[in-house]
Structure 1
Amino acid sequence: MFFSLFTFLALALPLPAMSSSNSTCTPEKIQTRIEWANMASDGQKSYLKAVKCLMQLPAQTGIKGTVTRFDDMNAMHQVQAKAIHLVLLRDECGYKGPTPWWDETRDAGNFMDSPLLDPDTGFGGNGTGLENCVTDGPFANTTLHIGRRSHGGYRCEPWCFIDRLWWKWQSEDLDSRLYQLGGPSAQGGTEELTLDYVMTTYGIRPNVTIKEVMNVEGGFLCYKYDY
């Protein structure tokens, strides 16, 4: 279940929350990402319904092995871990609620009782039997067409919300930290990153430069966290 759960949570990864790269962020437009336990049950169910909607839509990327639109997200995540998924929930499945996120520290030491795994208002349990097949919740008995890649074990690192931690660090000194970056484009690589480096989403959304996504509360991304 952990692989599937983090795939679902990847739907909330940051890149464009707005439909147009020319959008201007205003207090009226900015979206707030709400920790899962702080969402109303109707909002939780609406989000889960939108995720299931993607599982019913046909794939569009042409990536080998994809069958559904959800598979497109999974496959793209394998080749572009920082690319985005949330916008499809809104544009293609009509989701209108806030973007959820998971504060793991709230459930540390007692993950199995987390509201995130609730069978009625959450993603369902961790599975049963030797193969840990998920038998409750909205994704019970779901067939995944794209499997895990490159490593096994649990994905317990808080990679989904590094943007939250990064923004907190930037906010301590926006004048000097907002556009601060350095290093190669890939681990062990030689191409030096610049603000003009183009990040691809493999045709799912328009490509963007790093500079366009350095300010999460700015024109292109336009979102914030509830805390």
Structure 2
Amino acid sequence: MKTTTGGKAITGAALGILMLDARFPRIPGDIGNATTWDFPVLYRVVRGASPDRVVRRGGDGTLDTFIEAGRGLVADGADGIATNCGFLCLFQNELRTAIGVPVLSSSLMQVPTVAAMLPPGKRVGVLTISGSTLTPAHLQAAGVPPDTPIGTTEGGAEFTAAILDNRLEMDVAAARADNIEAARALVKAHPDLGALVLECTNMVPHAAAIARATGLPVFSMETAIRWFQSGLVPRRFPAPDP
């Protein structure tokens, strides 16, 4: 029996994830925690792409490094590439063009699809780690309407600072409280919201708590990646009995 691997260096993992160069704690649910997934993934850290540089400084000078890392993942065997920072939507077109496989750069890319599912009169709200640096250019790159309500954990006690300042310790309870408080404030300010999309991949561990606190469906980079993976590796079903 012949086998075909397509020249891949590593087989069995169709999804590659480009990681920021960070050292903050990655708890279960975090995109960068391998136990989050029930399917294999390939990781590659993009050296020099710190959270501060990507989120607060627009990824200044890192595009070529992301492209090189993405190509490396494809050479290793990835059929599709995701990233672990929603702000990388700025690089979406460049990454998909240069890497040559499907690229999911940001959770924000879900906003148009989620909006299309909602009843009339309802719209999507976005929760971000850094409202002050999430620009109209980011929204445009991800296909997010410019009038989309935006909430942020910026100014909270723990979450934004722990991630963007790349601290080695994080108070998880305080970080979750920041997320819940920001989500509640967003919903209170915009009672027409029908769903939330979490921009930051590090918000995933708090998604269930946000949903309970707001009563709304919550979409995140986890929901986006699971959908993406299901296309890269469609589920196999047994043939029906004759």
- The two structures have a TM-score, normalised by structure 1, of 0.26
Task: Please state which structure has a larger fraction of its residues in helix.
Answer: 2
Between the two structures, name the one with larger relative contact order (CA 8 Å, sep ≥ 6).
1
Task: Please state which structure has a larger fraction of its residues in strand.
Answer: 2
